[in-house]
Amino acid sequence: MFSSEFPQENGQSGLPQENGQSSNSSVTLTDEAGRSLKCYIEHSLEVEGSEYFLLLPVDSPVEIVAWDAEDDDEAEATLIEDEEEIDLIFSDAQAVLAEQNLTLKRTAYTLTVAGELPSVDEDEILTIEIEDDQEDLEPEQFQLLASFYHEEQEYGIYTPLDPLLFFAQKSESGETELLSPEEFKKVQPLLEELLFEDLDEE
């Protein structure tokens, strides 16, 4: 069963895949830029007449990290979230992953890679404490996939050890849409209660 905390924010990793009940059903999320992200439906719930989904990306999510080091200070890792910077380094990241038979994709809401990931190496795990506007989140652990340089800046490509989960709902038009942060915070307690009730019954 799920043993970790419920994700505090839509699109946050949090619940480890211990239930082994991934559904064969899938849906596709689309962002404002028209990029798509294919996801498995892990769970579906109906709340007050609306249908909600807990989704897991089909391909493995990845984050690109920039390493900043000044003088002899310990290097600091910074998650790259700026779209323009990702555009600049994307081809380099794609090339270095291709050497491991991994295909980097510019998917919606997160970058993903297709292919078989290497085994987890304890020496290559990075722990990052991610904060949001409301509170400090639990530290997240990432596995290094590859490193590369772009214009003398060192970057690392990492995949989270815990699965990245998304909450979505079916719109009136029948499309599957990601919940906005406001909607997610509003329904999260109820979804959490119903989800764990469903899991207890399984």
Answer yes or no: do 69 and 33 share one domain: no
The number of distinct structural domains making up the chain is: 2
Answer yes or no: do 43 and 96 share one domain: no
Give the residue carrying structure tokens 């000044």.
70
Answer yes or no: do 97 and 134 share one domain: yes
Answer yes or no: do 37 and 97 share one domain: no
Residue 145 structural domain: 60-160
Q: Specify which residues 55 forms β-bridges with.
A: 41, 166
Answer yes or no: do 74 and 131 share one domain: yes
pLDDT at residue 175, rounded to an integer = 86
- Give the tokens for residue 176: 């599957």
Answer yes or no: do 125 and 182 share one domain: no
pTM above 0.95, yes or no: no
* 8 Å CB contact between 65 and 75: no
Pairing of strands 111-114, 60-68: antiparallel
Answer yes or no: do 66 and 120 share one domain: yes
pLDDT at residue 135, rounded to an integer = 56
Helix, strand, coil % over all residues of the chain, rounded to 5? 20, 40, 40
The per-residue pLDDT string of the chain (202 residues; one tens digit each, 9 = 90 and over) reads 222 333 445 565 544 333 334 446 899 999 999 999 999 998 888 877 888 888 999 999 999 999 986 644 567 888 999 999 999 999 999 999 999 999 999 999 999 999 999 999 888 899 987 655 555 567 889 999 999 999 999 999 999 999 898 989 988 888 889 988 888 887 777 767 766 665 555 5
> What would you report as the CA-atom Rg of the chain, rounded to the nearest whole angstrom?
18
Answer yes or no: do 154 and 170 share one domain: no
CA 139 to mean position of chain CA atoms? 14
Phi/psi of residue 170, each to 5°? -85, 125
Residue 100 vs residues 91, 104, 117: alpha-carbon distances, Å: 15, 11, 9
Phi/psi of residue 149, each to 5°? -115, 145
Answer yes or no: do 89 and 39 share one domain: no
Measured between its terminal Cα atoms, the distance across the chain in Å is 9
Answer yes or no: do 74 and 141 share one domain: yes
Any domain includes 182: yes
- Count each helix (H run) and each strand (E run) in the chain, helices first: 2, 12
Answer yes or no: do 155 and 169 share one domain: no
